[in-house]
A and B are shown apart, each in its own frame.
Chain A
Amino acid sequence: MAHIKLLNEELPGIVGLLNYRPETARPLLDLAETLLRGPSSLTSGEREIIAASVSYWNKCHFCHTSHAAAAAAHLGSDIGLIDDIKAGLPNTPVSDKLRALLHIAHQVQRNGKNVTDEDISFARDLGATDQELHDTVLIAAAFCMYNRYVDGLGTWAPGPNEAYTAMGERMAHVGYGKN
């Protein structure tokens, strides 16, 4: 049971909140769509991995599992990617640049000031551009919002990974705020 009376209590996680307050839902959805599916030199799969990792570090089960499922849908991986993201991607072939960006995202997750000049130059040496650095910081920051929104209002979330497969497909291939 969420902390407030939602209009439709069957809708999980952020979905029930977006339905409750359309005035704030629109910009929240537009931001996710731009960050995760808009034009970028980072693939949507890579950006969803950043979103899912930050959500895991913030212990937000709904955001972590749904965005990891979206990453799997983009990358054509099986649903095992969800647990591999939890473990720090030991079994997924990702670039060293993405690993450096994930480190920056982890710093942002703790506090923006934790990002050091060394973190930035390390990512640059592996090919990260200004816009990729910008988008990584903003994706990490944005999920520090979405995660707190979802958990701070006590929304419910389906448990098992399999319950997120169809949701991940829709997030990846239809998008955010699209019907």
Chain B
Amino acid sequence: MPHINLTNEYPGIRSLFIYRPETAAPMNALVQAMLHNPHPSLSAGERELIATYVSRLNTCKYCCNIHGAIAKHQLGNNGDIVQQVLSDPETAPISSKMKALLKIAAKVQSGGKNVLPADIELARSEGATDIELHDAVLIAAAFCMYNRYVDGLATWQPDDAELYDKMGEQRAREGYLTPPFKVATGDSQ
């Protein structure tokens, strides 16, 4: 049961966005700008991997599953990369630059001050640009917000992998600003 009466049956953050449209608008605009809009050098799939990984570190089931599904669809329907990043970024089939950015994202997740000049230098030596460093830090920081919002109000977080895949396909294709489709609530709490 969510901690407050959300009066709708959408899962995760979608239930909160419908409850409070005034804050949903900037939160959705932020995720659209960070993860979906064209980027000078990071693909949408790479940016979704950062979001998915940080959500896992924060143990937020809904955000990890939905962004994992979006990442999969942004990466040419390759769910293996997502699972490998979640189990160990160091051995996952991603670029050395992405590994260094994920390391920075993990530092941000544990506390902004944990990012050290050496972490930045390592990422730079693998080719990371200022914009990429900026965006990796902001994506990691922002998911420390979205994850806490979703868990802190105890939203409904289904266990249905197919549902996340379907929602993820929609977001990969349409971005974040279109309405969510109605979810069958048979397994709603």
Which residues of A approach B to under 8 Å, CB–CB? 3-5, 17, 20-21, 23-24, 26-28, 30-31, 34-35, 38, 58-60, 104, 107-108, 111-113, 115, 117, 120, 130-131, 133-135, 137-138, 140-142, 144-154
Set B25, B117, B137: member contacting A30, Cβ < 8 A: B25
CB distance from A108 to the nearest CB of B (A): 4
Q: Closest chain A residue to B109 by CB distance? A: A148
Contact (Cβ within 8 A) B137 A113: no
- Size category, B interface: 35 or more
Q: Do A152 and B152 touch (CB < 8 A)?
A: no
State in angstroms the CA–CA spacing of A166 and B112 once bound together.
26
Known contacts A140-B148, A151-B115, A153-B133; 10 additional CB pairs below 8 A are A30-B29, A31-B26, A34-B26, A58-B111, A60-B112, A104-B152, A137-B152, A141-B145, A149-B112, A152-B115
Which of the residues A31, A138, A151 comes within 8 Å of B113, measured between beta carbons? A151
Cβ contact within 8 Å between A59 and B134: no
Instruction: Provide the residues of chain B in CB contact with A30, threshold 8 Å.
Output: 25-26, 29
Are B112 and A147 in contact, with the CB atoms below 8 A? yes
- Name the interface residues of B90-148: CB closer than 8 Å to any CB of A: 104, 107-109, 111-113, 115, 117, 120, 130-131, 133-135, 137-138, 140-142, 144-148
Residues of chain B from 133 to 189 with CB closer than 8 A to chain A in the complex: 133-135, 137-138, 140-142, 144-154
Give 5 closest A-B pairs by Cβ, nearest first. A112-B151, A151-B112, A112-B152, A145-B145, A148-B141
Question: What are the residues of chain B within 8 A of A4 when measuring CB–CB?
Answer: 130, 133-134
Task: Kindly provide the distance from the CB of B114 to the nearest chain A CB, expressed in whole angstroms.
Answer: 8
Chief secondary structure at chain B's binding surface: helix
Judge whether B58 is part of the interface by a CB distance below 8 angstroms. Answer: yes
Number of A-B residue pairs at CB separation under 8 A: 151
A31 near B3 with CB under 8 A, answer no
- Chain B residues with CB under 8 Å of chain A are 3-5, 16, 19-20, 22-23, 25-27, 29-30, 33-34, 37, 58-60, 104, 107-109, 111-113, 115, 117, 120, 130-131, 133-135, 137-138, 140-142, 144-154
Residue contact B137 to A27, C-beta cutoff 8 Å: no
Distance in Å: Cβ of A155 to nearest Cβ of chain B:
10
Of B115, B150, B154, the contact of A3 (CB 8 Å cutoff) = B115
